[in-house]
């Protein structure tokens, strides 16, 4: 089973 990560976990909101 693979869990899809999300971009805000890697890049910070400006």
Taking the complex as a whole, the smallest distance from the CB of residue 13 to other proteins amounts, in Å, to: 6
Interacting residues with other proteins between 1 and 14 (CB under 8 A): 1-14
Compute the least distance from the CB of residue 9 to other proteins, in Å: 7
Stated length of the chain: 14
The answer for residues whose C-beta is within 8 angstroms of residue 13's C-beta and 6 or more apart is none
Q: Closest approach of Cβ 11 to other proteins, in Å?
A: 4
Residues binding other proteins (CB under 8 A): 1-14
């Amino acid at each position: 089973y693979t869990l899809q990560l999300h971009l805000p976990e890697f890049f910070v909101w400006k």
